[in-house]
Amino acid sequence: MGESESRRAKTLGHGACRHHHPRLEAGSERKLAWAIALTTAFVFVEGAAGYWSKSLALLSDAVHNLSDALALMFSWYAVHAARRPSNSRRTYGYHRIGILTALANAITLVVLAVWIAWEAVERIKSPAPPVGWTMIVVAAAAIFINGLISFWLHSDARHDLNIRGAYLHMLGDALTASAVVVAGLIVVFTRSTLADPIVSLIIAIVILWSSWGLLIDSTDVLLESTPKGLDMNGLERSLAEFPEVVGVHDLHVWTIASEMIACSCHLVVDDQQVSGGQRIQRAVAEMLRDRFGICHATLQIETDCCETDSIFCKLRKNPLQTDSHTH
C-alpha cells in the first residue's frame, strides 16, 4: 500500500480494525458445516434412545441437540451471508444477519428451557422408570460429540457473537449430557424415578443461564446501545484532550456487528482552513481506532455549535421541528 493510500485508510479510521477476514470466515463456515452434519445425525440416535428407554433427560437432550443443529444452520448461513459485499440497499453489508441469528438462537433456547421444565414437572407427578444404562451410554456419546464441536468453535467464538451463540449451544449440551450420565448412574444403582426429571430441570436451568447473556448482548447490538466495556466518559475525556477541539456534541457509539464498532459525532473547532480541520479529523479518528477499537468513525467538523444541552443527540420524529438537529 502506498503512502497516500495508507494515510487515507488511517483517515477513515480503518487502519487496525477487523472488518472482513475471508480466510477466518471460510474456516468458520467449514467447521460449522461439519458440526451440523454430526449434530443432526446424533439427534436421531439420541431421540430414538430416549423414546425406547423412557428417559425424559435423553429426550430433552435430543431436543436440545435439535435446537443446536438449527442454531448451527443459522450460524452457517450468517457466516456465509456476511461475506457478501455491501451495496446501495445495504451499505453496511450483511453483517447484522449474524446478530439476528444470535438473537434467534437465544430465544429458541429460552423456549426450549421452559418446555423441558414443564415436562420435568409432569414427569415428577407421573414417574416412569427409565433404562439407566442406555442413558449413560448415549449421554457419554453426546459429551464427546458436543465437546468436540465446542473445541472447534472456541477460537472463533471469542470474536463473533453469532459463532458464540452456536458455541454456547454446544458447550451447554455437553454439560447437560454430563448431568444425564449422573442421572443414569443414579437410576442404575438406586432405581430412583426422580433422578431423570430432576436432571431435566437442571438442564433447563443451564440452558436459561447460557442463553441469557447472549439474549442481552444481541438485543443491545440491535438497539445500538453503547458497546459493552466501552468507557464513554473516557472517550469524552480523550476527545477533550485535543486542544483544537473546543466542543463535542451529537456523540453516538454503536456496534454494527461483532468487533465492528462505529462512532459519529460533531467536533466544534475554531474557524480555520479546511486542511486544518482535516488534520484534526484524522488525528481524532486515529485516536478512536487505537484507544477504543472504533473502526468506523464519521466526524463532522464545524465552527458553530447548534444549541444543545447534552453531548448526546436528542432525536425527534418530526424533521420539520425548528429545534431538531440536522445530520
* Burial class (CB within 10 angstroms; exposed 0-12, middle 13-18, buried 19+) of 77: middle
Give the residue from 222, 244, 278 where a domain finishes: 222
Please report, for the domain that includes residue 311, its CATH number: 3.30.70.1350
pLDDT score for 188: 85
Q: Rounded mean pLDDT of the chain?
A: 76
pLDDT digits (tens, 9 = 90+) for 94-112: 777 777 877 887 888 788 8
| Residue 327 lies in domain | 224-327
- Same domain assignment for residues 147 and 91: yes
Range with lowest mean pLDDT among 43-57, 95-109, 240-254: 95-109
**In 3D, which of 301, 309, 232 has the Cα closest to residue 266?**
301
pLDDT score for 276: 83
- Same domain assignment for residues 235 and 259: yes
Residue 95 · residue 218 · CB < 8 Å? no
DSSP secondary structure of 32-58: HHHHHHHHHHHHHHHHHHHHHHT-HHH
Q: Model pTM?
A: 0.63
pLDDT digits (tens, 9 = 90+) for 259-271: 678 898 888 888 8
- Same domain assignment for residues 148 and 69: yes
Q: Is the pLDDT of residue 17 over 80?
A: no
Please report, for the domain that includes residue 103, its CATH number: 1.20.1510.10
Give the residue from 169, 192, 222 where a domain finishes: 222
Grade residue 76 by pLDDT with cuts at 50, 70 and 90.
confident
Question: Pick the residue with more confidence: 83 or 283?
Answer: 283
- Same domain assignment for residues 24 and 165: yes
pLDDT score for 161: 65
- Same domain assignment for residues 146 and 54: yes
- Same domain assignment for residues 111 and 232: no
DSSP secondary structure of 179-197: HHHHHHHHHHHH--SSHHH
The b-or-e profile of 183-202 (16+ CB within 10 A means b, else e) is: bbebbeeeeebebbbbbbbb
Q: What is the phi-psi region of residue 13: left when phi exceeds 0, alpha when psi lies from -120 to 50, beta otherwise?
A: left
Q: Is the pLDDT of residue 62 over 50?
A: yes
Residue 166 · residue 101 · CB < 8 Å? no
- CA–CA separation, 147 and 325 (whole Å): 52
Grade residue 308 by pLDDT with cuts at 50, 70 and 90.
low
pLDDT digits (tens, 9 = 90+) for 123-135: 888 777 777 788 8
- Same domain assignment for residues 218 and 229: no
The b-or-e profile of 13-42 (16+ CB within 10 A means b, else e) is: bbbebeeeeeeebeebbebbeebbebbbeb
User: What residue type is 131 in one-letter code?
Assistant: V
Give the residue from 222, 255, 275 where a domain finishes: 222
**In 3D, which of 66, 51, 54, 32 has the Cα closest to residue 142?**
66
Residues β-bridged to residue 249:
266
- Same domain assignment for residues 208 and 303: no
Instruction: Quote the number of domains for the chain.
Output: 2
- CA–CA separation, 158 and 167 (whole Å): 10
- Same domain assignment for residues 228 and 215: no
- Same domain assignment for residues 121 and 23: yes
Question: Pick the residue with more confidence: 125 or 22?
Answer: 125
- Same domain assignment for residues 260 and 217: no
- Same domain assignment for residues 102 and 37: yes
